[in-house]
DNA sequence: TGCACCTATATGTAAAACACACATGAGATT
DNA sequence: AATCTCATGTGTGTTTTACATATAGGTGCA
């Protein structure tokens, strides 16, 4: 469960980088590396694992939540640019609703913690 | 990562049952089964896995965050009653702080989602 | 030219967290 | 004696996250 002596608590939301990706892509199309750098201020995480980030993007694409194309004609390494689909937008809405519920549970907890 | 077609989102807080346990034990000593029934309204989860609950309790005890004793003299199956230690109380405070940060990140996300 | 560095995309695998299934036993009810 | 609830646990598989490494184009510079 937890290794002894390591009770560092972070209280993170599971798969929070996923809605964060969708929100960034709703604002504008972007490629993976760009998203990687834009995520931390949105999630509050110091950094997001790049390996898993690319895996999530491809999983999202498999299910038609985003589409991608290789960006041609630009200098530097090839970039795969992602764009949000309408299905992806719906999923983002679901995430927002789930996050509101989650925040309410945290508030319930904190109210009780503070003795109210 | 996620099995295809299953993008059910719940946005749960990781290990949320742990601070919930600590909070319940701050209010009064209790045994596992009792805690199991008291958790759902506090965490918002429909139910908590009992197997993991007992494991968490014993892990907490190993690290001196709770203490336990077998309840004697009562009818019914033997009960192991847990009590919070001062170290456990400190950990609960850390959890509360982490949960406040987490809630703030969610708010940041939702504000941006709603376009503010 | 050689090498360090940044951008960019990816795979492999281990660890942590969570879910599902089952075992054991006391006591009450039918 | 069979079944139900209370109560405590173990075993094990799945999902999620973390850490490590691979590949490759392009830039700066000694």
More confident residue, A87 or B5: A87
Domains and CATH numbers, chain B: 17-113 (1.10.10.10)
Residue B74: phi, psi to the nearest 5?
-95, 155
pLDDT at A102 over 70: yes
pTM: 0.92
Do the Cβ atoms of A16 and B102 come closer than 8 Å?
no
pLDDT (tens digit, 9 = 90+) per residue, B4-43? 445 679 999 999 999 999 999 999 999 999 999 999 999 9
Say what the pLDDT of residue B36 is: 97
Do the Cβ atoms of A22 and A88 come closer than 8 Å?
yes
Q: How far is B75 from chain A (nearest CA, A)?
A: 32
pLDDT (tens digit, 9 = 90+) per residue, B94-109? 999 999 999 999 999 9
Say what the pLDDT of residue A116 is: 64
* Strand D lies under 7 A from the Cβ of residue B67: no
* Strand D lies under 7 A from the Cβ of residue B32: yes
Beta strands in B1-105 (DSSP E): 30-31, 66-71, 79-84
CA distance B36 to B51: 10
Tell if the CB–CB gap between A108 and B44 is shorter than 8 Å: yes
Say what the pLDDT of residue A24 is: 98
Say what the pLDDT of residue B116 is: 65
Which residues of A, range 22-41, sit inside 8 Å of B by Cβ? 23
pLDDT (tens digit, 9 = 90+) per residue, A1-16? 444 445 679 999 999 9
Residue B83: phi, psi to the nearest 5?
-135, 145
Q: How far is A55 from chain B (nearest CA, A)?
A: 8
pLDDT at A18 over 70: yes
Q: Please tell me whether residue B70 adopts helix, strand or coil conformation.
A: strand
In chain B, what are the helix, strand and coil shares in percent, each to the nearest 5? 55, 15, 30
More confident residue, B97 or A74: B97
Say what the pLDDT of residue B74 is: 77
Say what the pLDDT of residue A4 is: 45
pLDDT at A72 over 90: no
Percentage of the residues of chain B whose pLDDT score is greater than 90: 81
Beta strands in chain A (DSSP E): 30-31, 66-71, 79-84
């Amino acid at each position: 469960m937890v290794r002894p002596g390591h009770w560092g608590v972070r209280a993170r939301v599971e798969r929070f980088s996923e809605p964060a990706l969708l929100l960034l892509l709703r604002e504008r199309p972007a490629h993976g590396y760009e998203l990687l750098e834009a995520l931390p201020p949105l999630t509050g995480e110091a950094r997001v694992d790049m390996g898993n980030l690319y895996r999530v993007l491809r999983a999202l694409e498999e299910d038609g939540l985003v589409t991608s194309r290789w960006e041609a004609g630009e200098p530097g390494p090839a970039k795969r640019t992602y764009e949000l689909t309408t299905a992806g937008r719906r999923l983002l809405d679901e995430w927002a609703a789930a996050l509101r519920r989650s925040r309410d549970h945290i508030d319930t907890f904190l109210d009780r913690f503070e003795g109210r």
